[in-house]
Amino acid sequence: MRRRRATGEAKGHPNLTPMIDVVMCLIIFYLLVGQMASDQRSALALPRSGTGDDHADALAAFVNVRLDGNTLALDVDGVPVSLDQLGRAIRAAPSVHLRADAALTYERLWPVLDELARSGVRAVRVAAEQSTGAFGEF
């Protein structure tokens, strides 16, 4: 016996479950990548500069330096370290991106630069916010 379909009845419904699974995986991926990117860039008021480039080395270590009360607070790629541990924390990195608070004077930053030099780092890039003023005004 043959079965007859009623007129106007749909022949099938598309299965949306795989598409929803893919979209959810993409959302989770972008949330995780965004979180990892924000970890290496802590909230620092960087010095301003009218020159420079946007070069970013994927293998570089990010060293954040800020004042915590009257002492220097350091972290390498989001992990807090002391000045004595800085050399061991960045040994595997071919270069260093130094992100220092704009309020730090050179005298306060000198021990960090000295420790980087003693640990064998030859390339230190200093991060700054790009000035948007005319003619490179600060």
For residues 64 and 39, is the Cβ–Cβ distance under 8 A? no
Cα 78 from Cα 14, distance rounded (Å) = 46
Q: What is the C-alpha R_g of the chain?
A: 26
The pair phi, psi for residue 41, each rounded to 5°, is: -120, 85
Hey, where are the domains in the chain?
Answer: 48-136
Q: Which two tokens stand for residue 10?
A: 């749909």
Reduced to 3 states (helix: H, G, I; strand: E, B; else coil), residue 1 is coil
Question: Which residues partner with 81 through β-bridges?
Answer: 74
Domain 48-136 has CATH 3.40.50.10860: no
Q: What pLDDT was estimated at residue 138?
A: 40
- Output the tens digit of pLDDT for each of the chain's 138 residues: 666 666 655 677 889 999 999 999 999 999 888 877 655 555 666 666 656 566 666 678 888 888 888 888 898 888 899 988 898 888 877 788 888 888 888 888 899 989 988 888 878 888 777 666 554 444
Q: CA-CA distance, 81 to 100, in Å (whole number)?
A: 15
Distance CA 90, CA 113 (A): 13
Q: Compute the distance between CA of residue 58 and CA of residue 65 in angstroms, rounded to an integer.
A: 20
